[in-house]
Structure 1
Amino acid sequence: MAGEKRSQEDSHSTRVIRVVFLALLLDLLGFTLILPLLPSILDHYSQKGDDAYQSLQNIVDWFRGAVGVPMETKYNNVLFGGLIGSLYSLLQFISSPVIGAASDKHGRKPLLLLTTVGVTTSYVLWAVSSSFGVFLLSRVVGGVCKGSVSLCTAIVADLPCPKARSKGMAMIGVSFSLGFTLGPIMGAYFALRSVDAELFYQGPALLAVFFSISDILFILLMLPETLHQDGKDSSDASGVQEVGDLLNPVALFNFSAVTRTKEPPSKQQMRNLKVLGLVYFAYLFFFSGLEFTLSFLTHQRFQFSSMEQGKMYFFIGITMAAFQGGYARRIQPSRQIQTVRMAILAIIPAFLIIAVAWNLVLLYVGLFLYSFAAAVVVPCLSAQVSGHGTVRQKGTVMGILRSLGALARALGPVVASSVYWLSGAETCFVVSSAFFIVPLFLLGCLERHKED
């Protein structure tokens, strides 16, 4: 009987992982279609003399002057896109823990359907965005409603077996790699196929709507509810206190909302959870900053065109997918922290090599090590965090983790680009790579807690 029950659980876990993988892939394909088009979209609204665009341009001009960025169209587009990306990440920082906590009360599937409907609405707004204001509104709606990642990680966290959770987090990583590899290519292709040059973005936008509607139907028909009824509506915190814990940055770093349930984690678990959250934030803060400035470096040093930049990111995406599908999903839960340490140790020479790379061979050696770390760290940390808390807390835990990552991705590029233009590419990459000792130190603290 025990063996039969174990077999049923394994079969259920495998089905959930497959559905989550495909649902998130559909979501990410729609999300990434816009990435190669953003510079052209910004040029489009710039040439139209759009008032809302000019207002935001004034902020970009101020930032450019503050950090000494050259007056070049290429840099303007990257900075403008970075500003929009930071806004998107800040909205994710606010909404992710709220969405995660709501899923603990009302179920994963209803919240995933609701947020996907919101994302679909953002794509419809993009398709009809005759002004920059409407386009920016579409990004705001998308940022607020983009709950798929935190909800999918919560669904995987609901799985009873640590090994299944580890595999699920790795497969989420594979969906990211494939989405960010295939989506931009599809977006560029459909933009080039546009009949009306003025509305070149409508084809990709309508394709994003198609992917998102397909995702809604797929979730509705194929995704089982992983949060059982006895896991819902269990929080004993007041509404005001709960919202405060989900919006206050200090409370988020302390995972305060997790302690407001009827079965709060032990002090040992809370210490580990806080350390893992700090490791996650510190790693993504430094990583996202260097990731953002990488396109500056390759453009400035190697004169990479947009196509060459695309080939570089295609290499990164395919390499990450290979590591995640072939290696990361097989990492045993007991070895995840050790693997994270190894990956962070690999990323230090990766960025040092990129910093001094004056030929393409060295650059791609650095990018290979970079891809290995990017493929391993987040899935392993997510799997470790998913083991904390009861079923009543998984959505809140994973939502807070996603929120900390979004905050890191909002702040990291601003800091790194400032250092880049004030001190140069080499200084930026060398100094930032040295700071990866911070998450390594925190991992050591986590192990000491385990030994206490």
Structure 2
Amino acid sequence: MTLHFVETTVNNVLHLSCFGFFNKGESRLISSLNPELLEFHKHINGGSIGLLQSSVKALQEKLNIPEHFNSVLTGGVLGSLFSFLQFISSPLTGCLSDYYGRKPALLISMTGIAASYALWVIADSFFIFVLARVVGGLSKANVSLATTIMADITDASIRAKAMALIGIAFAIGFIIGPVTGAAFSVWGVDSSEQGNWWYWPAVFSLCLGTLNIAFVYFLFQESLPKDKRARSLQLNQTWNLVNPVSLFKFQLAENIEKNDLAKLRLLGLVYFLFLFLYSGLEYTLTFLTHLRFNYNAAQQGKMLLFIGLLMAVFQGGLVRRVKPGKEKFISIVGLGVIIPSFVIIAVADNAVLLYTGLALYALGSAIVIPCLTAMASAYGRVDQKGAVIGTLRSLGSLARALGPLTSSLAFFVFGAGPSYFFGALALLVPFFMLKNSTL
């Protein structure tokens, strides 16, 4: 490699790591506050938060389900909406970045995210809060772009390590975000006459989003040279960007060798099934602890701090050291660990058992996605990386769009234990698909 390429690679890896910290800090801050945010908006709107809550309440009364489960299904709908919008935007943004370059697409995406936090700052109604989530969902292609950039600047020998660096940065954000969010929420309650405790977490998120834009604008170096970009922008393929059938077939990545395309499609299916099940159970975790253990925002923050610390250790100590060709084995280990973690969480009736399950959960979470992504990023030409990774991330967004809603509905109807048991059992499908494959 030339000296310039080495310098660009090192700089971008460092900058993307900081980007990952800012990004995950913002998103996990909101996750830790979700149960209390919904309760807050329900309270200030006279016991109702609009058509969504009214519909959930009608279903709750018809099925004779305890009313305190309503927030779970309401949150699941909002979580799925956010990821559905990300599902629409990620592959389109990836293809645009193949033609115009990564940096412009990344900046536009992050500007939209900052705008969503600005709306959250002024969200004195449930409608504006939902609008903020809509804008954020449409703009959340930045994570997909970051992964694509890592694929641009690395080769197979160091790709897993590079993906792990972003993962480590995400884990650090996972640590900082919930804790600061919980702290700001307590401060907000103490310092606001109206009890609008969400105001300061929203301001903090907006500051992180703004710092992220400035950081990338001034320090990030374009990773896709003009001579390696796609020669044309094929907007006539827009349908393929949002059509699930086309996505599972990876139709945007043209002219990949037939055998490689078959492997990529299988990998995409494994990725989708895992994230569909995992994201649903992940999303309902804070609702489970809120309802079963009566955790408040501060306690949720401590729980997510524990998970984040372990993820940082596992990603820094294990994933970063994965040798080329070993990504499949490590992914299988991660899947094998996550399955019992959900069983333990399902039966946990005390903090010790809960945190035992969370420790296994953190290990599996830390290693599966980076390794599966590193495997997928090895396929396709340089000018196809955006399409390949964008499609993979879009499959993940589709899974995350369906997962929270499905899991929340199961939680709402059957309770936490059965929904987590079923999820753990269903995770055996992607586990054996990957284990028995020739990837």
TM score, norm. by length of structure 2: 0.91
Q: Is 2:406 the partner of 1:419?
A: no
Q: CA deviation at 1:155?
A: 0.3
* Other-structure match for 1:346: 337
**Residues 340-395 of structure 1, C-alpha deviations (whole Å, 9 max, x = no match):** 11111122222233333444333322221111110000000111111111111111
**Contact 2:247/2:391 (8 A) holds in 1:** yes
Match for residue 270 of structure 1 among 261, 265, 271: 261
Change (3 A) 1:117 1:305: closer
Measure the CA separation in 1 of the matches of 2:218 and 2:364: 35
Q: Is 2:186 the partner of 1:192?
A: yes
Long gaps (5+) in structure 2: none
**Residues 160-198 of structure 1, C-alpha deviations (whole Å, 9 max, x = no match):** 422332112112212222222211221232333343343
Range 217-226 or range 436-445, more displaced: 436-445
Correspondence list, 1:246-395, <5 A:
246-259=241-254, 264-299=255-290, 301-395=292-386
SS of the equivalent of 2:81 reads: helix
* Other-structure match for 2:13: 17
* Other-structure match for 1:121: 115
* Other-structure match for 1:86: 80
Range 154-163 or range 422-431, more displaced: 422-431
Measure the CA separation in 1 of the matches of 2:63 and 2:406: 10
* Other-structure match for 1:183: 177
Change (3 A) 1:310 1:64: farther
**Residues 80-117 of structure 1, C-alpha deviations (whole Å, 9 max, x = no match):** 22221111011011111111111111100000111111
* Other-structure match for 2:230: 233
Q: Is 2:70 the partner of 1:76?
A: yes
* Other-structure match for 1:245: 240
Change (3 A) 1:272 1:44: same
* Partner AA of 1:129 in structure 2: A
SS of the equivalent of 2:214 reads: helix
* Other-structure match for 1:211: 208
Measure the CA separation in 1 of the matches of 2:77 and 2:253: 32
Match for residue 437 of structure 1 among 417, 420, 428: 428
* Other-structure match for 1:58: 54
Measure the CA separation in 2 of the matches of 1:420 and 1:57: 16
Measure the CA separation in 2 of the matches of 1:52 and 1:105: 46
**Contact 1:68/1:422 (8 A) holds in 2:** no
Change (3 A) 1:46 1:19: same
* Partner AA of 1:119 in structure 2: I
Measure the CA separation in 2 of the matches of 1:173 and 1:133: 33
Q: Is 2:29 the partner of 1:33?
A: yes
Measure the CA separation in 1 of the matches of 2:47 and 2:59: 19
Range 350-359 or range 138-147, more displaced: 350-359
Q: CA deviation at 1:245?
A: 0.6
Q: CA deviation at 1:280?
A: 0.7
**Contact 1:50/1:131 (8 A) holds in 2:** no
Match for residue 138 of structure 1 among 132, 140, 159: 132
Measure the CA separation in 2 of the matches of 1:236 and 1:209: 33
**Contact 2:32/2:304 (8 A) holds in 1:** no
* Partner AA of 1:252 in structure 2: L
* Partner AA of 1:346 in structure 2: V
Measure the CA separation in 1 of the matches of 2:256 and 2:97: 19
Measure the CA separation in 2 of the matches of 1:21 and 1:67: 47
Change (3 A) 1:224 1:79: same
* Other-structure match for 1:152: 146
SS of the equivalent of 1:389 reads: coil
**Residues 201-241 of structure 1, C-alpha deviations (whole Å, 9 max, x = no match):** 3322222222122111110111111111122232474x32x
**Contact 2:35/2:287 (8 A) holds in 1:** no
Q: CA deviation at 1:289?
A: 2.2
